[in-house]
Amino acid sequence: MPSTNPSELRALIAEDEPILAAALKHALQKLWPELQIVASVENGVAVVEQTLALRPDVLFLDIKMPGKSGLEAAQELAEEWPEGQAFPLIVFVTAYDEYAISAFDHAAADYVLKPISDARLGKTIARLQQRLQQDAGKDQALEHLIGQLHNLQPKAGAERLTVIRAAVGNQIRMIPIGEVIYFEASDKYINVVTAESESLIRTSLKDLLQQLDSQQFWQVHRGTVVNCQCIQVATRDENGKLSIKLRGRSESLAVSRVFAHLFRQM
């Protein structure tokens, strides 16, 4: 359980370069001796597992990591975090300026650039300490992070898809993009679902998203992208969880809280 007692605050470091992880840990021990470092992990998959298991108060998260990027790990944590539990404050660590650093201004999370200086880290620590006091007993960090994640995702730059070429046996099926009802990620493949058929294509959801019109295709879950023109109704259950029904399909699809803002009343 995350702690609100300043003498019991806990942090997790996610950094795939051991020397940099050790340097950050040393700097934190010097500048914030009350903070307990409960774990140091080297990939995005371990970030999610260990953060869910240990529930730290603060997460220092490298953006570029193997397995999952820091942004992908943060998104998965936001989706999987237990209801009613205080979400950790996140500090993104990056050496890459293609991420909009200005998006961190006035947000719940902070950032530090590599190589990390004591002066910059000291400012981040002061900001974290202030937020931990303000958010004591509240669950505000998660809502702030959810809003922030949409601003931090890399912008689409690839050419828009008009036709999906999907293999079916020894044939290649040509599927006009407007006929796709939704895409669903599965391992190394994506299931392309239309009213009449389902077909697999070999690509990542991340690469696919960069080729789709975001005004037409909405990501509603970590592995699901729907054609918004096919959404029939969105329903919220007694626990506040959203699901959608799509025209031409009998199944319901879950909507994660990261993307629930898409269905707020206009």
Supply the CATH number for residue 39's domain: 3.40.50.2300
Strand order in the sheet with 252-255: 231-236, 242-246, 252-255
| Alpha-carbon dihedral 135, 68, 100, 78, rounded to 10 degrees | -30
Question: What pLDDT is stored for residue 57 in this prediction?
Answer: 93
| 213/211 Cα distance (integer angstroms) | 7
pTM value > 0.85:
no
* 86, part of any domain: yes
Please count the structural domains in the chain. Answer: 2
Q: What is the pLDDT of residue 105?
A: 46
Would residue 257 count as lying in a domain? yes
* In-domain check, residue 158: no
pLDDT at 112: 85
Q: 3-state class of 170 per DSSP?
A: coil
Report if residue 157 sits inside a domain.
Answer: no
In a domain, 1, yes or no: no
Pairing of strands 242-246, 231-236: antiparallel
Domain boundary (152, 181, 213) is at 152
pLDDT mean values, one per 10 residues, the chain (266 residues): 65 94 95 97 95 95 87 86 85 68 52 87 92 64 62 61 87 93 91 92 89 93 95 91 93 91 77
110 and 205 housed in the same domain: no
DSSP state of 260: G
- Domain end: 94, 119, 152, which one? 152
Same domain for 112 and 244: no
Within the chain, where are the H helices? 18-31, 44-54, 70-80, 118-134, 140-152, 205-209
Q: How many other C-beta atoms can be found within 10 angstroms of the C-beta atom of residue 198? A: 12
Residue 84: exposure state from Cβ atoms within 10 A (0-12, 13-18, ≥19): exposed
Q: Are 213 and 246 part of one and the same domain?
A: yes
The pLDDT assigned to 257 comes to 85
Write down the pLDDT at residue 157: 56
Same domain membership, residue 225 and residue 114? no
Q: Which of 152, 175, 208 is the last residue of a domain?
A: 152
Please report the pLDDT score of residue 23 as a whole number.
94
8 Å CB contact between 199 and 191: yes
Domain hosting residue 80, numbered range: 6-152
**Whether residues 137 and 44 fall in one domain:** yes
CB burial of residue 229 (10 Å; 0-12, 13-18, 19+): exposed
Same domain, 119 and 169: no
Are 118 and 198 contained in the same domain? no
Q: Would you mind telling me the total number of residues written for the chain in this entry?
A: 266
Q: Are residues 135 and 167 in the same domain?
A: no
CATH number at residue 250: 2.40.50.1020
Q: Is 173 among the domain residues? A: yes
